[in-house]
Amino acid sequence: MAKRKVDTENRTFKTRWESEYMFTEVAGKPVCLLCGESVAVMKEFNLRRHHETKHVDKDKDMDMEQRLQKVEELKRGLKSWQALFRKAKSQSEAAVKARFILAEEIAKSARPFTEGDFIKNRMLKVCDEVCPDKRQLFSNVSLSRNTIAERVDELSINLKEQLVKKGKEFIAYSLAVDESTDISDIAQFVLAADIRRRFADFEAQKSRFELLSNTFAVDVGSSPPNLQMELIELQCSDALKAKNVAVGAAEFARFLPETVPQLHIQAMFGSTYLCEQLFSLMKLNKTSHRSRLTAEHLHSILRISSAQSLAPNIDELVQKMRHHQVSATASKK
């Protein structure tokens, strides 16, 4: 026989229960105003049993008017506590969010993780002069080296999850990625374009090369049918013509608008530029002063710095951390 699901039954809180049993409704659950305990099922029998078992002597000499006054007093006290907890929760989440924001900025600027302590000390000095009453809030923002390193890794994981999800919609992949190691056995990403596959038949690919090297002069009529409308749109744009002259053919592919997806697939220079950017970022981060930088942390820094249109979902990460903290607290109890 299936058990009855009492949580799904249509039971509503009745106003008279406040004065009769000293209960009020909080987030859909009946909560005792005298002791703060909640009752699992919203039934009058359960509320009456709780009141008669634990609090029958506390209000037996009160008349109805006194009961109502007591209920209002207790409800005001409960609301003040709820406001205090909401404020504390908001401040705690703000501190966590600040850690993620600063960790992202430190990673993007190729600064060492120890920079967090320097930033915090400067923030506290500014706070002492501008808003000394808020000093404790700034003190709660932990920016130690280990904290920044952990937040950077979490930001990188979040970006990877977004990229994997977005990658399922990709039509084509133009580059392959391989790994090599440097003298300290730290993995480095290198460009591994399949040269043989691309240039096995150079003549057959000639028309595609012309599309990229001289986009605004190519004959639309002799181009592949799936590219003709996009080429017409591109060649009619004075702004894009000016951009092509300004940056050159090798860089122009990076500025192709989203309205020409087929030309994006043909272009390889955007990915080549990104690869060169990664090497530059690696050179900035791997200095003689950062010998303790691990392969995992370097990987995270490069992912954050080269994310381009992707941005870490910091609000989602804050919520995950809060849920983790709540679960950890509950398990200890």
Least confidently predicted of 20-29, 207-216, 253-262: 207-216
pLDDT per position as a tens digit, 120-150: 998 899 888 888 888 888 888 889 999 999 9
For 54, the domain range is: 6-82
pLDDT at 37: 79
Domain total of the chain? 2
Alpha-carbon gap, residue 101 to 202, rounded angstroms: 48
Using CA atoms, how far residue 261 sits from 88, 138, 221, 229, 333, in Å, is 48, 46, 19, 11, 55
pLDDT at 159: 92
Mean pLDDT over the full length of the chain? 75
Q: If pLDDT is split at 50, 70 and 90, which confidence band does 32 have?
A: confident
Residue 39 lies inside a defined structural domain of this protein = yes
Q: Is 189 helix (H, G, I), strand (E, B) or coil?
A: strand
pLDDT at 197: 54
Residue 111 lies inside a defined structural domain of this protein = no
pLDDT per position as a tens digit, 290-313: 777 888 888 888 888 888 778 899
More confident residue, 272 or 133: 133
Mean pLDDT of 12-16: 80
Alpha-carbon gap, residue 99 to 149, rounded angstroms: 11
Last residue of a domain, one of 25, 60, 82: 82
Residue 73 lies inside a defined structural domain of this protein = yes
From the DSSP assignment, how many helices (H) and strands (E) are in the chain? 15, 4
Last residue of a domain, one of 57, 82, 107: 82
Contacts with 322 (C-beta within 8 Å, 6 or more apart), sequence order = 92, 93, 96
pLDDT per position as a tens digit, 165-202: 887 776 555 444 444 444 444 444 333 344 455 545 55
Residue 153 lies inside a defined structural domain of this protein = no
Last residue of a domain, one of 248, 267, 286: 267
pLDDT at 177: 42
Least confidently predicted of 15-29, 161-175, 260-274: 260-274
Contacts with 99 (C-beta within 8 Å, 6 or more apart), sequence order = 141, 142, 143, 147, 148, 151
